[in-house]
Each structure stands twice: as structure tokens, then as C-alpha cells.
Amino acid sequence: MKEKVILAYSGGLDTTAIIPWLKENYDYDVICCCIDVGQGNELDGLEERAKLCGAEKLHIIHAVDEFCDDYIVPCVMADAVYENKYLLGTSMARPLIAKILVDIARKEGASAICHGATGKGNDQVRFELGIKALAPDLKIIAPWRCLDTWKMQSREDEIEYCHQHGINLPFSADSSYSRDRNLWHISHEGLELEDPANSPNYDHLLVLGVTPEKAPEEGATVSLTFEKGVPVAINGQKKKVSEIITELNALGGANGIGIIDIVENRVVGMKSRGVYETPGGTILLEAHKQLEELILDRDTMAFKKTIDARYADIVYEGKWFTPLREALQAFVESTQQYVTGEVKMKLYKGNIIKQGTTSPYSLYSESLASFTTGELYNHKDAEGFINLFGLSLKVRAMKMAEANKD
């Protein structure tokens, strides 16, 4: 019997060309695996296409809820944003995909896993770190790094290679954006975006929504309910996290929410420019932050911000299955014990505007915060506090004055 290889399969031109390439260069039985993390109609017709291209079989694994509950929610709890802009849409999905590829490899008795990520991107790092952490014995094949046997350097080359192997699918050689889509976001790279001096062609680019200029004049209101940091309801209706994100995507997209244009620092050392659409995720993260600012004490919030930033870096770098990520997650979860309440927001032309936040665990005290003197706060106490808080400043100033006299 031939050895088996599990191919991370999307049905696009790259992974279509990889099927005959694997059979030709490794003499493997190719088993395709497509993991559904919310990429929509991209899954249509995949089984027929995979078998037409020479695959033995195709596994389609529906993992949207697992993606939301086990990967998105932890990142929401951690307010995880890479370089202050990128909401980690692709980064969060890769470890789950790696995990499922390993599961299928074990089920099928495969000896290798193949992915179609290029040698310049982050995804090769994310896929392979996940596979190494979960199945260090499995061989990993990355065609774009196999320079001796992978001779294709363009879409035209790949189309011609497929034709030579009897695969005549309706792929186009026309240039288009390089995109990655899941329930959380869609990313866009390529074309005019390759030059940071160019403005994005949003009329051609956007998929999930519209620009703020084209959003309606009246806007929309929405409320989100959290329990221990987890979103559990939208507009008072209890729903699964995946359903909440789906509804928020529609609302946010229609109102121009969650479009960012970033030049980010890739793991492999280069800068890359991309446009990300994350309408629902942007709303969800903003609501979570608004609730935290009401509930977390000053020291915990300040320290959590440092943890959140490190957590985002770790996820971006593909280090999901590491002791450090798990340890940071444990800290984050401990901070979420009382992050329960409701956040109301207005969505208007790209803006998220507070409409009120409530929580049974709010640390906000109206009697303390108001200008009316309450029982817990004596204005006179501030004088002693300031004297002690500023003592080092006063001592330094006195010493400097003495030194300057000399």
C-alpha cells in the first residue's frame, strides 16, 4: 500500500495543483481535508473537484462552533489585537486547522501533512508549529519551499500544470486579491495594496460591508450580554457565539465597522500591507473592553494590558499549543470571573458609540464619583495622600536646590 498524505485543501488553484504534484513527486495517496471555519460558499463543490484532481477522498470538517468557543472566545477575553490593529482572524484559525489535520492524519494512518502556504508568509509558521506540537513524528511537506520540484511561480504556471495532468477547471489567470476568509474576518492582500503609497480600491475590495461614507444615515443600535467574559446574548436573545458573530457581521458590515488598513510585521521578518474586514469582531471586542473598564480594578486592568499584548503576539506567531499561551490564558480567565453585564452601543458610519454599560459587579460608585461628598470619601483625606504620593518629588527638588547653591 502507498503511504498517505493529508492535504490541507481549500479547492483553490494552489491546492488543486498540489494534488497531482504530490502524486507525481512522492507517489502518495492524497487525502484532502477542508476545515470549515466559516468561509461560506467556498466549500461548494469541493468533493467533486478534489476527486477529479486525483485525491482518494475528501474530509470536510465543520468546526465553526469549535473555532468560536475554543479559539475566538479566549482571544476576546484577552482583548487580543496584534500591533494595535489586527484582530488575529487568520492567526486564530490556523492552530485549529493544524489540530484537525493531525486528527485526520491519525485516523487515516497518514505519514505526512501537506499545506499550500508560501515560503514568505506567516501561515507556514502557524501550521507547522501546530503540527510539530501535536504530532512531532509526522512529516510536513510545503511545496512552495520545494524548489527542486515545485517549478510553478504564477497562476498561469499552475493552470498549465493542471491542464498537463488532465485537470481542466474554470480557474482564471486574472489577477485578484489574495484573500483568507472565516467567520471572524476576511483579509485582502495584493494588487494596489502591495504599494503602501496607494489607497485601497474599496469599491472593488470589500466583501463583508461598505465604507463608512456609504453606510446609512440612521445607523443601528445593538446590545451584547456577557457572562464571565463570554458573549451569551445579542439584543437580549440568548445565542451561540457563532450566531452572535454572524449577526454582528451583518450589522457591522452594513454600518462601515471594522475596516483596517495595516502595514504589519510578519513573523518571517518582512513588512506586509493588508486590509482586514472584521465587522462583528470589532464590535465584540469593543463591547468586552467597555465592560472590563467598569469591572476590573486599576492594577488588574493595567497588568492585563501587558498580558493581552503578549498574548496577541503569541497567537500571531503560531504558538497556540505552548505552555506560555496556556499560562497566560489561565491568568486572563481568572480576570474574567466577574466580567458579566450588558453593553449597549450605536453603530454609525464606522463608529461604535457607547449607549450605556451595566453590571452587577461594577466598581463604579456614583456617590464616590459625583461632586457631592459621600460617606466613603472625605476631601480632606486627599491632602495627606498627595503629601505622601509626592514625597519623592519634593525631596528630589529640595536636594537639587541645595546642590545648585554649591
Query: Does residue 238 lie in a domain region?
Result: yes
**Domain shared by 157 and 277, yes or no:** no
**Domain shared by 139 and 234, yes or no:** no
Query: Does residue 318 lie in a domain region?
Result: no
pTM of the predicted model as reported, rounded to 2 decimal places: 0.94
Query: Does residue 252 lie in a domain region?
Result: yes
298-316 and 323-335 helices, crossing angle to 10°: 150
Whether 67 and 38 have beta carbons less than 8 Å apart is answered as yes
Closest CA to 217 of 255, 250, 249, 247: 255
**Domain shared by 140 and 193, yes or no:** no
**Domain shared by 271 and 345, yes or no:** yes
The confidence score (pLDDT) of residue 405 equals 86
Give CA–CA dist 155/147, Å, rounded.
17
Confidence band of 313 (pLDDT split at 50, 70, 90): very high
Residue 371 has pLDDT above 70, yes or no: no
**Domain shared by 148 and 233, yes or no:** no
The confidence score (pLDDT) of residue 32 equals 97
Question: What's the pLDDT tens digit per position in 240-294?
Answer: 999 999 999 999 999 999 999 999 999 999 999 999 999 999 999 999 999 999 9
Question: What's the pLDDT tens digit per position in 4-17?
Answer: 999 999 998 999 99
Closest CA to 343 of 240, 234, 248, 207: 234
Residue 61 has pLDDT above 90, yes or no: yes
**Domain shared by 149 and 263, yes or no:** no
**Domain shared by 129 and 222, yes or no:** no
Question: What's the pLDDT tens digit per position in 72-94?
Answer: 999 999 999 999 999 999 999 99
- Give Dmax (Cα) for the chain: 92
Q: What is the mean pLDDT of the chain?
A: 95
Residues acting as catalytic residues: 14, 94, 123, 178
Quote the strand ranges of 339-378, DSSP E: 341-348, 351-358
φ/ψ of residue 4, rounded to 5: -110, 145
Three cell numbers written together for 175:
489577477
**Domain shared by 140 and 16, yes or no:** yes
Question: What's the pLDDT tens digit per position in 141-171?
Answer: 999 999 999 999 988 999 999 999 999 887 8
Query: Does residue 320 lie in a domain region?
Result: no
Q: Range of 286's domain?
A: 178-296+339-358
**Domain shared by 154 and 247, yes or no:** no
Domain count, the chain: 3
